[in-house]
Amino acid sequence: MPYLTLPRRREFLATASAAGLLLSQGARSAAAQQGRARWAFFSDTHIAADRANTYRGFKPYEQLAKVAPAVAASGVTGAIIDGDLARLTGEPGDYQNFLQLLAPVAAKMPIAMALGNHDNRKNFQAAIGKHPGEVQAVRDRHVLAVPAGPVRLLVLDSLMMPDFTPGFLGKEQRTWLERYLGASDETPTLVFVHHTPGDNDGELLDAERLLRILKASRKVKALIYGHSHRYRFDVLDGLHCINLPAVGYNFNDAEPTGWTEVELSAEGADFKLHAMGGNLQGDGKVTSIAWRG
């Protein structure tokens, strides 16, 4: 039996290429990127009908006027805003300005939105005609399931009434969530809600019941919220609990305002902070987290 002679490299490349075994440079990086997605996550824009509205020295209108073009130019393929879109009571004029500011983002990508305690569900629904993903049938609540590459985003609604600080999901929404998680495929799932899941009177009043449902479903990898205007990462029994920074203003000089650019995969996520106001020290910092199994 003759020795097997290996083809010289050039011949091998020619053969392999002819056989379609090799990918071009572009196709190869596309393959490496497959199963990844880059999204913008941010929260608490607090846009008022009055463009000059100021709080703690911040002008939310100007803050979003800086964030929106940056998000639009960043190459992300989707955006999610985690509630408190409007300044205080969710007036139609608030949403009008809000949408106008977001126009450069909306021209390029889907924008999913959650409602916070400073929103008005009726005025929001009237202003925003179309939502990405699937709107879920939960009575009197704005609930979405949105595909984002390798992960699924579930947007819950914790708004009780406009300008009333605490949040509440309620039994019907929690029951829906439990059923949805039981019936959906194993796609890693990130759950968004506006309110912080703490036990203070101004936080999510049924946080404990929500956490029980999320912890029990292994496909749920993270709970993501705003409300406190703080940027923070915690882990609770393997479940990531992520507090997004506010766009509009901070409550404390130590906190940044701005947005996060999030690289998502089936294994975890890298959060890059784009600090645009307040404490700028963490600007550009990447926080990498791995999903629980």
Q: How far is the CB of 227 from Zn ion (least distance, A)?
A: 6
Taking contact as CB under 5 A, which single stretch among the options 27-35, 76-84, 86-94, 209-217 is the one that binds Zn ion?
Answer: 76-84
Closest alpha carbon to 93 in 61, 132, 131: 61
CB 97, min distance to Zn ion, A = 16
**Is the CB of 119 or the CB of 263 nearer to Zn ion?**
119
Q: Please give the Cα distance from 140 to 188 (Å, whole number).
A: 27
String of DSSP letters for 175-222: HHHHHHHHHS-S--EEEE-SS--SSSTTSBTTHHHHHHHHHH-TTEEE
Which residue reads 């890059």 in tokens? 272
Smallest distance from Zn ion to CB 42, Å: 12
The C-alpha atoms of residue 212 and residue 169 are separated, in whole angstroms, by 14
Of 24-32, 62-70, 78-86, 159-167, which part binds Zn ion (CB under 5 A)?
78-86
Could you tell me the smallest distance in angstroms from the CB atom of residue 180 to Zn ion? 27
- Of 27 and 254, CB closest to Zn ion: 254
110 vs 167, beta carbon nearer Zn ion: 167
Sole binder of Zn ion in the list 42, 67, 72, 84 (CB under 5 A): 84
The dihedral built from the CA positions of residue 114, 117, 118 and 119, taken in this order, carries a sign that is positive
Task: Find the shortest distance in angstroms from Cβ 108 to Zn ion.
Answer: 26
Q: Tell me which residues in 36-55 interact with Zn ion (CB under 5 A).
A: 44
Query: Do the bridges between strand 268-278 and strand 286-290 make them parallel or antiparallel, or are there none, so unpaired?
Result: antiparallel
Ramachandran angles phi, psi of 79, nearest 5°: -140, 150
Among the residue ranges 80-88, 156-164, 213-221, 262-270, the one whose residues contact Zn ion (CB under 5 A): 80-88
SS3 251: coil
Number of residues that bind Zn ion (CB under 5 A): 2
Decide if residue 82 touches Zn ion (CB under 5 A). Answer: no
By the 10 Å C-beta count (0-12 exposed, 13-18 middle, 19+ buried), 272 is classed as: middle
Number of residues that this document lists for the chain: 293
Closest distance between Zn ion and the C-beta of residue 264, in Å? 24
d(CA 166, CA 109): 31
Residue type, 194: H
Please state the closest distance from residue 127 (CB atom) to Zn ion, in A.
18
Kindly tell me which of 116 and 188 has the beta carbon lying closer to Zn ion: 116
Whichever of 38 and 195 has its CB closer to Zn ion, that residue is 195
Q: What DSSP assignment string belongs to 99-126?
A: HHHHHHHHTTS-EEEE--TT--HHHHHH
Stretch of 81-89, 92-100, 126-134, 145-153 contacting Zn ion, by CB under 5 A? 81-89
Name the one range near Zn ion by CB under 5 A: 13-21, 84-92, 143-151, 216-224. Answer: 84-92
Q: Report the interface residues with Zn ion, using CB under 5 A.
A: 44, 84
